[in-house]
Every structure is written in C-alpha cells, then in structure tokens.
Amino acid sequence: MAKVKTAFTAKWVEAVKATDKRQEIPDPGFKGFYLIVQPLPSGAKSFALRYRGKAKFTIGSVTAWTLKDAHKEAGRVMRAFDEGRDPRAEKKEASSDDNLIENVLDEFLKRHVKAKNGARTAYDVENTIRREIKPKMKGKMITAIRRRDVISLLDDMVDRGVPTMAVRTYALLKKFFNWCIERGILEVSPMGGLKPPATVEARDRVLSDAELRWAWLAADEIGWPFGPLFKMLAVTAQRKEEVAGASRSEFDLKATEPVWVIPPARAKNGREHLVPVTPLALNLIGSLPVINESHLLFTTNGETTVGGFSKAKERLDAAMLKIARSEARERGDDPDAVKIAPWKLHDFRRTAASGMAAQGVQPHVIEAVLNHKTGTIKGVAAVYNRYDYAREKKRALTGWEKHVRSIIAAKPGSNFVPFQIRGTEQ
C-alpha cells in the first residue's frame, strides 16, 4: 500500500499506482479524507470520506473530481452530518435526471432567459445552448461539470474560427452557473476565475467586388441549401439567423411590390421589419425546393432550419479560393500567390451597407434597410419618426442589386468597373 506522510497533492494522487489489492489511503492533511485505489486490472481511483463513525461516503472518481473540489465536497458533507442532514439522500437527489445539465439548461431557459428577456434574445440564447453547449455536455450531471469541461468547449469554438461566439458563450455560461448557485443547484461555479477565451475586436471587413463575385460563384459550387442562403445574405443585407429562419408565410411575393416581413419574434431588435424583395431575391426564393410541404425556406427535413454554418462557410471559402486561383492560372499569374483574407458571413451585410453608401444612399436609409435600432435619428425625433422608409429601402436595395448583377456579369480579370448608382434615395 502506498504511504504518504504529507498532505495530498494533485500530482501525488495522479502518480499513485494500483496493485493487486484494494488501497484506502488517508490524507494526512485532511482527517477523514481518503484516496481509494481499486485493485488491478481496474485500478480506478476515487475520493471518499469517513467522518465520526458514519459509513464511508464516496465523493467520486478522480477523473471527475479535482483534489481541490473533492476537499470542498468533503467539507460540505461534514457540515451536512453536523447539521443533521443526510448527504447521501442529497447526493441521490443531485443524481436524478432533473440535475442532468441539459434539463437544468432547459429550466434556466424557462425561468430566467424567457422570463426576463425579449423574444429575440431568448431565441439567440436557446440557439447557442442547442448548438454549442448541449452537444458537448449532454448526459453529465450539473455537479460533475468541471472548469476543464468549459475550457474544452470554448477552446474548440476558438479553434474552429468563431472567437466572438466563444466569448458570447463564455458570458452565457457564467450567467447560467451563477443562476445555478442562486437556485441552490450548485455551491461553486466552474467559471470562477476563468477569463474570456478571446478578445473580440471591432470588425470592418468589407468584401471587394472580386471577392463578392467569387463568393457568388462559390455558392453555386456548394449548392443547396447553403449556396442559395449565402446569396440571399448578399442580396438582402439581412442577418444570418433571420434569413436562415425565414418562413414562406412571411413573404408576399405576388404583390405589386413584393415584400418580406420579418416578425418581431425573429428580428434581433424585437421590431417588425419590412424588407423589399428585389428581382434577384425573388428569383432565388422561387428556385428553392419545398421540403415535405414545409413553410421553411431553408430546411433539409421540413421541420427545422438548417444548421452547420461553420462547415458550410469552410466549403464556401475553399470554393472561392479554387475559383480565384483558377482564374489567376488562366491569366498566366501564379495561382499560389492568390490569397483571400479571412472573413465572416456577417461581412455580407457590412459589404452591402458599404456598397449602398458608395451609391449615395443616406445613412438613415441604410440603417432602415439593416433594421438597426439606433442610428442617425435619435432622441425625441426617433420616438416620433415611425416612417418605414419603404420606398427608400426599395431604391437602396435595387441599386445594390444592380451592383451585384454587374459584378456577377463581369468577366474574370477584366478592367470593367461597375457603374455606381448615386442619389438613389432622392
């Protein structure tokens, strides 16, 4: 049996070797605290507590509990015994399905997020939980979530190129675990002392005409469902979630002036948003297949909106680079010298806004197109100015569409400069 004369350390615990006999090793620095080592071939290690003649209380495996957290749990169990409570019953309750993290997250959504936030914020939070958090943590007890689990989740997001989403998820998890402490579900948050996984810098990336053209051609390469979706982002200048979640019932395409009305529940700022549908957008919508009679524009199963944007964006990037290098080769240039700076799907929106500004569209009209809540018109004027700018938005998006069409039609490597339409909102 391993012998130790000084208080346990994490390094020592990790180094203890299993033998052909069960070992129960007391911690000289914490009376009643033990390391249990099962005989070979298992060799499993766990922490346990023996306190004032009570039956041994197993805290848990060393793979799930750090030494520091196990010491804290032992102290909690000792206090429970001293107060006449039954820590075993409490542990059994904590092990119920109610304390699976996916179920606690659902409770958090119901009692905190949806109760205290607008529909759009609740939608975004629920989306993040469903797409990012649950797949990594589902099936674990809330009390078994450790700091390394959180770090692993956030590091994966940074590594796949979504640092902004990683920072937002960090903030969401911090709020979630603090809520768990307030509700008595947890004693300590695994987020304690954990810093944000990345620094989010303000972005100003705008696609050049050549990049926008490559993106459009690359969208054709990757095809349904993301190809048409990415084109809709470029043409409409609306948010990714708003385009991806679009329903056919939101469109009036047979009207003299076709429109898309994004309802408040799906608009980021909680305000209904009217988007004029230009001919190119109309053609894109008309080309979309109807899946299982679903009302959703972008769905592969007829029940839920599409997911997997990160992988689809990677395919788009690869197709863009392939097209750009092929055109360089045809011109006699070195294809390996062609590089495309990193960009995000949100940059479609910024590119459209910049393009409209270059065409002379006034800032307040661009903000109306983008459905920004704040902008040029502020204060009392903003309260009373409820004018929708429908005609101005139509002119702005039509002018932007003409620019997009001219880019698409331009021959690769030509010196053609698309005519910039100015004063479109006069």
**Tokens 């032992």 label which residue?**
74
Q: What is the mean pLDDT of residues 332-361?
A: 94
- Residue 377: pLDDT band (50, 70, 90) is very low
Residue 420: pLDDT over 60 = no
Contacts of 362 (CB under 8 A, 6+ apart): 376, 392, 425
CATH class of 10-94: alpha beta
**Tokens 């605290």 label which residue?**
33
Contacts of 415 (CB under 8 A, 6+ apart): none
Residue 414: pLDDT over 70 = no
Q: How far apart are CA 202 and CA 83, in angstroms?
A: 53
Ramachandran bin of 413, using left for φ above 0, alpha for ψ from -120 to 50, beta for the remaining angles = left
Average predicted confidence (pLDDT) for the chain = 88
Domain ranges of the chain: 10-94, 98-182, 209-409
CATH of 209-409 given 1.10.443.10, 3.10.20.90, 3.10.129.10, 1.10.1040.50: 1.10.443.10
Which residues partner with 57 through β-bridges? 49
Residue 198: pLDDT over 50 = yes
**pLDDT tens per residue across span 12-48:** 999 999 999 999 999 999 999 999 999 999 999 999 9
pLDDT for 379: 43
Residue 341: pLDDT over 90 = yes
Higher pLDDT, 340 or 162: 340
Provide the CATH topology of domain 98-182: DNA polymerase; domain 1 (1.10.150)
Q: What is the mean pLDDT of residues 99-117?
A: 92
Q: What are phi and psi of 355, to 5 degrees?
A: -65, -40
pLDDT for 182: 94
Residue 152: pLDDT over 80 = yes
- Residue 228: pLDDT band (50, 70, 90) is very high
- Residue 133: pLDDT band (50, 70, 90) is very high
9-13, 24-28, 305-309: least confident range: 305-309
pTM over 0.85: no
**pLDDT tens per residue across span 84-98:** 888 877 666 655 578
pLDDT for 1: 55
Q: What is the mean pLDDT of residues 108-125?
A: 87
Contacts of 384 (CB under 8 A, 6+ apart): none
